[in-house]
Amino acid sequence: MKEIKVGIIGATGYGGIELIRLLSNHPHFQIHAVYSSSQDGMEISEVYPHLANILYTLKKIEPKEMAKELDIIFTATPSGVSSQLVPQLLKEGIKVVDLSGDFRLKTEELYEKWYKKPSASIEDLEKSVYGLSEWFADEVKESTFIANPGCYPTATLLGLAPLAQKKLIQPNSIIVDAKSGISGAGRGLSPIVHYAEINENLKIYKINQHPHIPEIESILARWDDQIGHISFSPHLIPMSRGIMSTMYVQLNKEFSAEEIHQLYVNCYEDAPFVRVRKLGEFPSTKEVSGSNYCDINVTVDERTNRVTIVAVIDNLVKGAAGQAIQNGNIMMGYDQQTGLNVLPIYP
């Protein structure tokens, strides 16, 4: 099969360097060029010495030129930047996987309400397919433009999907308590990520205001239009990578813990990157670190008929670059696992 020429915009960010790490092991995707809006002309190894043996000079972003030489572009750029940049790339006919939140919501109003910045046009919002690979692979396969899911929504939606699909959730009963390592905030500095402020600390933020709320709700509504709203509490914890999403859900029928666990096992039996753990064994973030796995377990409190689901991912892999490559594989007709079969780094 032919070599696929890949470009990465935002290569100097955490999502970008994770794309470089993972793509360096891909048998078909060849990194052809990496781009920067502020450091073009520099070697990537000057920005990141851990890439000392990787010889890429950061190039200027020029959509017309890029279209001539590339087959697919990963845009690991901030929200508000992708909405400006991606339409120029689409116009040139390049396949795009965008890692930002700019094309995940399907109306301009919803985007502007939650992101508090101007939206991409409705025409461009409608062009994108939401790339939760395990559930929307058929759409991804037919698409040339993927809105890669957010990190919290990836863990949360994979955790809730089996119950939502079977319409087993009482309306407005979902509570999501999620925790993220600080690389989720990107490489830019802000007071919240200062060592002295996050070390030995646990912070809740954007409670009921996080832009991932409408993203999660709109996908849940595609599975069950009665599911209603969620309560979502994100937290920052003093670790570099990882997300744990703990979900509490009221069921609308009575089930035992064994029955619900079996539902999850059956649901994900053909999903190579979702590992439903043994009954009673709950995953921790380190057990997926550096890998594209989402590990999940579930139990039922039979006194309250409430389900607790725990889903963990590496925010930079399954929550960003890994899932972006999984989607790229599906779009290009490769096995979804191509280049992504790395075991977690442990301990």
Ligand X SMILES: NC(=O)C1=CN([C@@H]2O[C@H](COP(=O)(O)OP(=O)(O)OC[C@H]3O[C@@H](n4cnc5c(N)ncnc54)[C@H](OP(=O)(O)O)[C@@H]3O)[C@@H](O)[C@H]2O)C=CC1
Report the interface residues with ligand X2W, using CB under 6 A: 79, 100-101, 150-151, 180, 182, 184-185, 212, 234, 236
The two tokens of residue 5 are: 């020429």
The amino acid that residue 74 corresponds to is F
Cβ 21 vs Cβ 13: under 8 Å: no
Nearest residue to ligand X on Cβ basis? 13
Angle at 172 between CA 267 and CA 295, to 5 degrees: 30
Region of 333 please: left (phi>0), alpha (psi -120 to 50) or beta: left
Residues that bind ligand X (CB under 6 A): 9-10, 12-16, 36-39, 61, 76-79, 81, 99-100, 150-151, 183-184, 186-188, 315-316, 319-320
What's the closest the beta carbon of residue 18 comes to ligand X, in angstroms?
Answer: 8
**Between 185 and 257, whose beta carbon lies closer to ligand X2W?**
185
- Smallest CA-to-CA distance from 105 within 52, 60, 147, 159 is with 147
**Between 78 and 272, whose beta carbon lies closer to ligand X2W?**
78
DSSP code at position 148: P
**Between 152 and 264, whose beta carbon lies closer to ligand X?**
152
Q: Which does residue 12 touch among ligand X, ligand X2W, none (CB within 5 to 8 A, set by kind)? A: ligand X
Q: Compute the Cα dihedral for 182, 185, 186, 187 and give only its sign.
A: negative
What's the closest the beta carbon of residue 42 comes to ligand X, in angstroms?
Answer: 9
- Smallest CA-to-CA distance from 161 within 267, 284, 293, 307 is with 267
**Between 10 and 214, whose beta carbon lies closer to ligand X?**
10
CA distance 241 to 316: 7
The two tokens of residue 338 are: 């191509």
Q: Which does residue 14 touch among ligand X, ligand X2W, none (CB within 5 to 8 A, set by kind)? A: ligand X
What's the closest the beta carbon of residue 148 comes to ligand X2W, in angstroms?
Answer: 8
**Between 185 and 265, whose beta carbon lies closer to ligand X2W?**
185
Query: What 3-state DSSP class applies to 12?
Result: coil
List of E strands, 211-319: 230-236, 243-250, 274-276, 294-301, 306-313
C-alpha 209 chain-centroid distance? 19
Q: Which of the following is catalytic: 66, 151, 220, 249?
A: 151
**Between 215 and 298, whose beta carbon lies closer to ligand X?**
215
CA distance 322 to 316: 7
Q: Which does residue 10 touch among ligand X2W, ligand X, none (CB within 5 to 8 A, set by kind)? A: ligand X
**Between 79 and 173, whose beta carbon lies closer to ligand X2W?**
79
Q: Which does residue 81 touch among ligand X, ligand X2W, none (CB within 5 to 8 A, set by kind)? A: ligand X
CA distance 293 to 62: 34
CA distance 257 to 245: 19
What's the closest the beta carbon of residue 191 comes to ligand X2W, in angstroms?
Answer: 12
What's the closest the beta carbon of residue 88 comes to ligand X, in angstroms?
Answer: 11
Nearest residue to ligand X2W on Cβ basis? 184
294 is a catalytic site residue: no
CA distance 246 to 299: 11
The two tokens of residue 331 are: 């779009």
Q: Which does residue 143 touch among ligand X2W, ligand X, none (CB within 5 to 8 A, set by kind)? A: none
Those residues whose C-beta lies under 8 Å from the C-beta of residue 210, and which sit 6 or more positions away, are 152, 232, 234
What's the closest the beta carbon of residue 102 comes to ligand X2W, in angstroms?
Answer: 8
What's the closest the beta carbon of residue 46 comes to ligand X, in angstroms?
Answer: 12
Active site residues: 151
